[in-house]
Structure formats: C-alpha cells, structure tokens
Amino acid sequence: MDLGLNEQQELLKNSAREFLENECPETHVREMEEDEKGYSPVLWQKMAEQGWHGLLVPEQYGGAGFDFVDQMVLVEELGRALVPGPYMSSVFGGAVPILEAGSDAQKQEFLPKIAAGELIFTLALTEPSARFDESGIQAKATVSGNDVTINGTKLFVPDAHVADYLIVAARTAKGVTLAIVPTKQDGVKTTVLQTIARDKQCEVVLNGAKGQLLGADGAGWAALAPVIQKYTVAECAYLVGLAQMDFEIAVDYAKERVQFGRPIGSFQAIQHKCADMVTDVDGSRFIMYKAAWSISAGQPAAETSIAVNMAKAWCSEATRRVVAHGQQIHGGIGFTKDYKIQLFYRRQKRAELAFGDADFHRELVAQQLGL
C-alpha cells in the first residue's frame, strides 16, 4: 500500500522535467503549431538518446525494459511540457502493438528502430464513423500468406503524415485483422486535418495498400484490447501532466495579478477554484496510476478493465474542469493567443476525446458494474 513514486521513478521524473524545460520550452510548442511536420527531428533524436522511445521495450530489443507505471511517470512529464510530435503514436501505437501481437522476427526488425527513434509508427484505428468499438472497423482487407491488402478510410490518425509505418486495423472474412503498412507507397494517401490542438491528425485513404500481417488473420480485435488499454491510460497520464501544469500556472498568476489593491488569489472565489483544481488534478493522478498499476501488476482482467474505464471517464472530465478554471482565473489575458494558458486548454480537448470521452467510458463502467 503506497501511492508514492519509488526512487527510480523520482529520478526519471526529475531528469525528464529538467530535460524538457531546456529542450521543449513554450516557444518550441508554439513553433510546432505552425510547422508542417509538427515536430522537431532534432528534439526527437535527443529524446531517443534519453532512452524514452524504448522505455517499455525489453532490453533484448534495444529498449530499457522499464515497466508501465514508470512509462506513465514519463508521459506525465510530456503532458506537462506539451511535447509536440509523434511520441505517443510511435510508442503506444507502434511499439506496444508489436510487443503484444508481433512475431519474434517483427520484434527484431522494428522494435530496436522504434527505440532508437529511427522509425516512426502510428495506429490507424478509427474511421469516419468515429467509433471505438469493434464495429467501427469497416476498412476491408484481404490476406494472402503474410501479405495484406487494404481498402478503406482511416480518420483521426495521429501523425500519419510523418510516420514510416501504420498499424492498420481492417476487416477480413475472419474478422478484424492487424497489418503493418509502410506509408511510402501509392496505396496510402494522407491528408492533415486542422485541429483545435494544432496537432497533426490525418485522414488516411488506403487504396489497395500493401502490408504485412501483424498477429493472426481475424485475431486483431483481441490483440488490440491491451493496446487500447495502455494507450488510453497513457492519454490519462498526458492529461494529468497537462492539468498539473495548467493549475500551477493559474495559481502563480493568482498570486501575482493585483486588482482592487490585492492579489486576486486572496479572493475566496479564486481560492476555492484553486482548491477544486488541486482536488481534480490529484484525483486524476491517482485514478490513472491505479489503472497503470493494475496493468503492470497483472491484476485480474475484469479489475484492470474497469480501472481503465474509470480512469478515462474521470480524467476526461476532471481535467476539463481544471483547464476551464485556468482560463477563468486569467481573465482577459487568458483568451489571447500570446499567453500560454490557452495552449493547455486546447490540448486538453484532444486528449479528452482520444479513445473515448467520459460519456463513452461511463457507459462501459455502468455495464461492468452490472447496472
């Protein structure tokens, strides 16, 4: 029974924070909002040198072999710094599915390169139906031996425009099937959408796109379950870091901004908002770590499943309350593009929606509680 970080996690957290304060300042986040790629290959490489891309990857495949809770400690820091780029895509949408479903040859081929930052992956899951369940997968695939050919449209695929490979979920006669699909081929057309977070989510049209089978034909949805769980918890961790920083900025602002001859942070209306913010941020942190711990400690499947749904249901709404208070506390200046607080507000929405918002997860919680 202990809800604190261990020494290794403290070390990871502190070194990540220091690194990102230097390498990923607000100016960088803003630059990347206007950048075509949306990330800096230089920073990408430096992050790889920190060992971050392969944190979860076992040492035999060129990674650091940390566990999932450690990984969440790092993602919290990425959220805090609003690190732009395909980190989440490549780790949770690439390394994790390959770890879950890949053959040993695939692991040998791809994992060391993901860990080294040489390859970028992303998960092509959702479609124009915008559903997160199995029936949302309507893209068609045919399988011949190890080769897969895919037709269909994937939507809201993060970072597909810079990815080297997609992991595509498509439907064969046997059911949902996964494939590793290189992006540099005629059958793959990527269009970047303009989004509230100014991240890079794409429409990906697959027109006879060729790839290789990942896992067995028809075994894709089962293979995706743990991937979606981990990715969902990672989005929660990102939200926790983002909300923590938003809250800290707001509290600092409230201490400095003077109106009526005193800091606005001395007014109870502001104080009570700050008290509610810390409650929501802390609540988010622990429910996220509970789910992460459940995964990494191998708790019974039913317990892990509901822990993940509870975490995303809570984090989605609690962090939205936090960033809304963050805006209100800033008054007029918070509404300007130049001031930093809005960067958090816009990005919160992306992660709130990713892998289902609170309405989606609350329904799953109700079902699992037998309500």
Summarize as ranges the residues that interact with another protein (CB under 8 A).
1-6, 69, 251, 254-255, 262-263, 265-268, 270-272, 274-276, 278-279, 282-283, 286-287, 289-290, 292-294, 297, 310, 313-314, 362-363, 365-366, 369-371
Residue 335 Cβ, how far from ligand FAD at the closest point, in Å?
4
Q: Which two tokens stand for residue 49?
A: 């040198």
Residue 273 Cβ, how far from ligand FAD at the closest point, in Å?
8
Under 8 Å CB-to-CB from 18, ≥6 apart: which residues? none
Q: Which does 276 bind (CB under 5 to 8 A by kind): ligand FAD, another protein, none?
A: another protein
Q: Which does 302 bind (CB under 5 to 8 A by kind): ligand FAD, another protein, none?
A: none
Strands 165-172 and 121-124: parallel
By CB under 6 A, tell whether 338 contacts ligand FAD: no
Give the range of 23-31, 81-89, 258-266, 300-308 binding ligand FAD by CB under 6 A: 258-266
Residue of the chain from 3, 4, 22, 260 that contacts ligand FAD (CB under 6 A): 260
By CB under 6 A, tell whether 266 contacts ligand FAD: no
Q: Which is nearer to ligand FAD, 105 or 260 (CB)?
A: 260
- Angstrom CA distances, 280 to 239, 246, 270, 328, 358, stand at 11, 12, 15, 16, 14
Pairwise CA distance, residues 70 & 67, whole Å? 5
For residue 40, count other CB atoms closer than 10 A to its CB: 18
Q: Which two tokens stand for residue 221?
A: 């949805």
The one-letter amino acid code at 124 reads A
Q: Which of residues 276-335 bind ligand FAD (CB under 6 A)?
A: 328-329, 331-332, 335
User: Among residues 289, 320, 282, 281, which one has the least CA distance to residue 307?
Assistant: 289
C-beta of residue 141 within 8 angstroms of C-beta of residue 187: no
By CB under 6 A, tell whether 3 contacts ligand FAD: no
Q: Which is nearer to another protein, 132 or 267 (CB)?
A: 267
By CB under 6 A, tell whether 255 contacts ligand FAD: no
Find tokens 């816009």 and name the residue.
Answer: 346
C-beta of residue 97 within 8 angstroms of C-beta of residue 220: no
Footprint on this chain of ligand FAD (rule: CB under 6 A):
257, 259-260, 264, 267-270, 328-329, 331-332, 335
